[in-house]
Amino acid sequence: MSNHPLGGSHNAASFGSPIVTETASDMRIAPVVPAKVLLVDDEPDILPEYQELLELHGLCALTEADPETALEKVLECPDIAVVVTDMRMAKLNGAELIEAVRARLSKGRKVEFIVLTGDSTYCATIIDPDIPVFLKPVDFDALVGAVKVALAGAQ
């Protein structure tokens, strides 16, 4: 587990892999696709719910509560094509995370971003007008659609 590319963080180890494994075994209809979506939110309660729902929609999702660890994960794991991030986080907010990822991403690699925010006054266009923004509570169907579009864009 320790040398698993996604197991660098405690969170990922405890929430990520076992659940994926478990849900994948449950889902008979949806084929298991390689993990290409990373969910970042500093509120740990919500992460399993996102993960579970994405998996129910046939998407492979990793979760991370610590935005700094999340940054490392994105850089280390080339499978991650889409990052869905909360905006308002204590250590590193969503915008900073996006900037940091873009700044440090190796050439040729493409990662799409989707922003979730609870702040209704948040203006996403400040960062990048191309990044889709979803207000909480999230319209999950739209989110799944956006993720799928992003995955297509990333590949």
Partner 1 sequence: MNPPTRFSLPSFTSREILIAILLGAAGFGLNMLELQLGWGMHFVFGNALVFAFLRTQRPTTLVAAASISSARTIFLWNHPWAWSVWTLEAATLSYFIRKSTPIRVDILFWLLAGVPMLIATYGGIMGMDHLSLWLVIAKQMTNGVLNVALGELVYFAFLSVQAARGPVQLRRMPIEAFVMMILMSIILIPTTVYLALDAPTREAGARGTVARSLDDELQLTNASMTMWQESRSQMIAALVSERRDLIGIAHAPVPTNLRREFEQIVAFDPSGRPLWSMGDKGSGPANFPSSGNLLTGSEARIVELSASATSGNNRIALLVPAYMSGKHTYALATMRPDTLKRIIIQPGHPAPDGLLLLSPSSHYRIIRPASESIIDHLRSMPAHIREGALEDAVLLSRTGYGNAVMSDLRDALMVRAIRIKSLPGWEAIAVARLSGEVLKARQGQSSLFMALSVFVVLITIAGTFLARRIETSLRELAQSAADLAMAGTGRGQIDRLVISELSDISINIATVGSLVARERGALVSYQRRLRSIAAHSPVLVYAFEVIDDRLGQLVYISDAVEKILGYTAAEAAQPEWWSNAIHPEDRDHFRAAYSDLHPGKIVRVEYRFRHKQGHYVWVYDSCAIEVDPLHGNSEAVGLILDISERKQAAEQLLQADKMASLGRMVAGVAHELNQPLNFIKMASLNLQERTKRELFDVKRFAAKLDDIISHVGRASAIILQMRVFGRKPTEEPYPVEVKQSVDAVLTMIRNQFFADGVRVEAEDCDPNVTVRALPVLLEQVLLNLLLNANDAIRARQAGANKQDGWIRIGVKRHGRKAEIVVEDNGTGIKEEVLPVLFEPFFTTKPPKEGTGLGLSISYGIVRDLGGTLRAENTGTGARFIMDLPLCA
- CA 4/CA 124 separation, integer angstroms: 34
Find the part of the chain contacting partner 1 (CB under 8 A) among 68-76, 99-107, 114-122, 147-155: 114-122
- CA 19/CA 101 separation, integer angstroms: 26
Smaller CB separation from partner 1, 101 or 116: 116
- x-marked contacts with partner 1 along 31-50 as a string, rule CB under 8 A: ------------x-xx--xx
Smaller CB separation from partner 1, 119 or 128: 119
| Residues in region 122-151 near partner 1 by CB under 8 A | 135-138, 140
Residue with tokens 């935005």: 67
Q: How far is the CB of 74 from partner 1 (least distance, A)?
A: 22
The helix (run of H) or strand (run of E) holding residue 154 is helix 140-154
The helix (run of H) or strand (run of E) holding residue 3 is none
Measured over the CA atoms of residue 96, residue 118, residue 110 and residue 64, the dihedral's sign is: positive
Return residues touching partner 1 (CB under 8 A): 26, 29, 43, 45-46, 49-50, 52-53, 56, 88-91, 116, 118-121, 135-138, 140
